[in-house]
Amino acid sequence: MTNQPASCPIGHGSQTTIETAKTDWWPKTLNLDILSQFDTKTDPYRSSFNYREELKKLDVEALKKDLHKLMTDSQSWWPADWGHYGGLFVRMAWHSAGTYRTADGRGGGGTGTQRFAPLNSWPDNVNLDKARRLLWPVKKKYGNKVSWADLFILAGNIAYESMGLKVFGFGFGREDVWHPEKDTYWGSEKEWLADSDARYENVDDPSTMENPLAAVQMGLIYVNPEGVNGKPDPLKTAAHIRETFARMAMNDEETVALTAGGHTVGKSHGNGRAENLGPVPEAADLFEQGLGWNNHVSRGIGRDTVSSGIEGAWTTNPTKWDNGYFYQLFTYEWELTKSPAGAWQYQPIGIKEEDKPVDVEDPSIRLMPMMTDADMAMIKDPAYLEISKKFYKDPEYFSDVFARAWFKLTHRDMGPKVRYIGPDVPAEDLIWQDPVKPGKSDYDVAAVKAKIAAAGLSVSDLVATAWDSARTYRASDMRGGANGARIRLEPQRSWVGNEPERLNRVLAVLEPIAKEFGISVADTIVLGGNLGVELAAVAGGRNISVPFSPGRGDATPEQTDGESFAPLEPIHDGYRNWVMKKYTVEPEELMLDRTSLMGLTAPEMTVLAGGMRAINTNHGESKNGVLTDREGALTNDFFVNLTDMVYVWEPRGDNAYVLRNRETGEAKFTATRVDLVFGSNSILRGYSEFYAQDDNQDRFVNDFVAAWTKVMNADRFDLVS
C-alpha cells in the first residue's frame, strides 16, 4: 500500500505512449512506416534547410579550439577523469560510428541517432548521455552550422588530438535525423549480455552469429568483456572479435589497432555496485533531466563511477597517446581477478609502482591497471600476437595504422569522398571509399542514344541492365549504384541476380559504343535504360523524355575491393520479380527491405514495380506479374488488372498464383506474392487504385520516370550542391 493520492481516470483517444500501442486490433501487416521515416513533419528545418550550405559558414578552427578547451573543462556534476574528458569523448564517437555493419550498411554515425532510443539507452552506452550533455554548450553556440552527427565524431577526433595523436583527417557532411531509425533491426535479445547461444547456431563457430549484427554486438560490446558467455577464454574471444570486426569492414591489423588505440586512453568504470544505478534515459523519471543510470544511493561520480563493471585504466598515462598499451601487455604476466563490481578482468603480476596509473581524482594514489578478455586476445591469438609485436616495436607505424583505422571507422558510412566537406579532408583516395573518377560529360547525348537505339537490344535488355547496375545503391551507407559501372567487374558481373549470360551479351554491345564516343560505360548503361523507358512509353502512346545527367565514371578493378561488395549482392529483387531461393522471410518483406535501403518511398516502390512489370523486366524473362496484353509498353495495366474484380487469385504452389476469370474460369495471368501484395495490402492497394484510375495514366508515366531517375542518380553526389 502507498499513501500516494489517487489519480482521476480520464479518457484520451490517442496512443500517447508506445506501451499502449497494442496491435490486438491491427493484424500482421507490412511495416510500410520504414519507407516514410524522416518525413518533413518531423524535421524542424522543413525543406528550406541545406546543411552543406550552412557548413560553408562554419568557423572550423574556432570550433576545434572550443572542443580542445572542452576536453579539460571539468564539470563538478560529471567530473573528468584526471581532469581530461578525452577517453569519454573517444568512447562517445566510437559508439556512434561503431554501430555500422556491412551486411546492410545500417548503423554508423552518419545520422546522429545516438541521441535517441534504443541507442541512448543501451547498457554499453551507459553514461554517454553525460558526454552528449557536456557537448551541448558547443552545439548551442554553433547551432545549425554543425550537426550533432558531425559533432560526435569531431569530438572524438579532437579528443585524440588533445592527447597527442596525429589524426588522419576529418570530413563534415553528416546530417541529423530527428527520430530513431524505424528500419534498423537491432536483434531479438531481451536481456543484455545473456548467453550468446541464442544469437549463434553454434557459439563455437562465430560465423554462425545472427546477421546483421544485433544489439549486443552493435552496442560496441562486440564480445562480452568478461569472455564469451561471461567465461574468460582469450582465444575464444579472439575468434568472436575477428568475426564481429570483419562485419564492420575491418581486417586483423585494423582490429588490433582499434582495440589497442581505443584502450590506450581513458578507463573502464566499475568501482561500485551496479545495482545502485537508476533507470536508463528512456525509462527515467522527468526529474532526471533526460539522463539515465544515475546513482542516488552512493556517490556515483569520479572514482566511484560505474559504467561497464570493469574497473581501471589500461595504461600508465591514460590521457596521453603513447605505446603504453603494448608496454603493459608485453611487460607483465596477467592473472584473472574481479573488479569491485564483480566483473572478471586481468591484473598484472609484480607490476612496478611507476607503471601503475594514478587515481582519477588524487594523483598521489596509484592503482592497478587492468586488461579484459578482449585485450588478452591481442597476445594469445597467433595472428593478433604478431601484429601486436609489430606495433609494439614500431610505435609510429602503430599510430599511423590506428589513425587510418579510426578514420575508416568514423567515416565508413559516409559514402564516396565527394560527400566529405571541410578543410581536413585527406587528399588520398582510399579503396573503401569506392573511388570513381568523373567521366566525360561534354558529349552529344542524342548521338549516343541513337547509336544504342540502332544496336538491336530489346527494351527489356536496356531497362533491366540499367536497373541491375543502379539497384545496388544503399542509402544506409551511400555505397553501390550505377556510377563506376562495377556491374562489368567481378564480383558483380557473375552475380546470379544480374543474369550473367544476358549481361555479357548486353555489355558486348554497349562497351564498344562507350569506347567509340570516349564516354563511360556507366553513362552508356544508364542512357540505354533511359532510352528503353522512353521507347516503352512510346509503345504505350506517350512521348516522354527521361532526364539524363552525363558525367559518370568507370571504376577500375584496382579501385574495387571485391570482397567489400559481396554484401551488396542481391539475393532477391521484387522489382524484377525474383528470389534466389525460399527464405524464412516472405518475398514482399524482402522487397520492403530492398526499397528501404534504396531510399525509396511506398508510392515510388509501387509505381516502379507496376511499370517494370508492364515493360517485362522480370529476371529470366518470367511472365509472373506481367498483367497486360501490351507487354513492353509503359502502361498502368498492371494496376488496372490487379484491382479488377473480374479476376480471382488462386494459389498454385509456393509463391505462385494464377489470376483466373471468375465467370469463364480462363487463366489469364500468373503472379507472385510480390505482385499480389500491391492489391491485397490495404495501404499498397490504395496506391495501386490511384494509379489504376482512368485520369491518372499520365500521372503514372510521369511518376515512374521520376522514380526511375531517382534510382539512376542515387549515387550522383557530384550533382548535389
**What pLDDT shows up at residue 220?**
47
> Could you give the C-alpha distances from 574 to 43, 362, 384, 543, 678, in angstroms and in order?
31, 63, 43, 27, 12
The dihedral through the CA atoms of 325, 327, 328, 333 has a sign that is: positive
User: What length does the chain have?
Assistant: 721
Are the C-beta atoms of residues 548 and 534 closer than 8 Å to each other? Answer: no
Report the number of secondary-structure helices (H) and strands (E) in the chain.
Answer: 23, 9
CA 677/CA 586 separation, integer angstroms: 11
Closest CA to 171 of 52, 327, 318: 52
pLDDT at residue 1, rounded to an integer: 43
The predicted structure's pLDDT at residue 219: 45
Position 332 scores a pLDDT of 98
List, in sequence order, the alpha helices (H) in 191-336. Answer: 215-218, 234-246, 252-264, 324-331
pLDDT mean by block of 10 residues, the chain; 721 residues: 59 57 64 90 88 97 98 98 98 94 93 94 92 98 98 98 98 96 81 69 81 57 80 94 91 97 97 92 95 94 93 98 98 97 96 98 98 97 98 98 98 96 97 96 98 98 98 97 98 97 98 98 98 98 97 96 93 97 93 96 98 97 97 98 98 96 97 97 97 97 98 95 64
pLDDT digits 0-9 by tens, 137-195: 999 999 999 999 999 999 999 999 999 999 999 999 999 999 999 998 887 767 766 67
Do residues 483 and 552 make contact, with C-beta atoms less than 8 angstroms apart?
yes
- What is this structure's pTM? 0.95
Could you give the CA distance from residue 309 to residue 272 in angstroms, rounded to a whole number? 8
Contact partners, residue 646, CB within 8 Å, separation at least 6:
661, 662, 663
Dihedral-angle region of residue 189 (phi above 0 means left; psi in -120 to 50 means alpha; beta otherwise): beta
Please report the pLDDT score of residue 214 as a whole number.
Answer: 56
Q: How far apart are CA 612 and CA 468, in angstroms?
A: 12
Burial 105-142 (b: 16+ CB within 10 A, else e): bbbbbbbbbbbbebbbbbbbbbbbbbbbebbeebeeeb
Tens of pLDDT, residues 489-512: 999 999 999 999 999 999 999 999
Q: Which residues are catalytic?
A: 95
Per DSSP, which regions of 238-324 are E strands? 267-268, 312-313
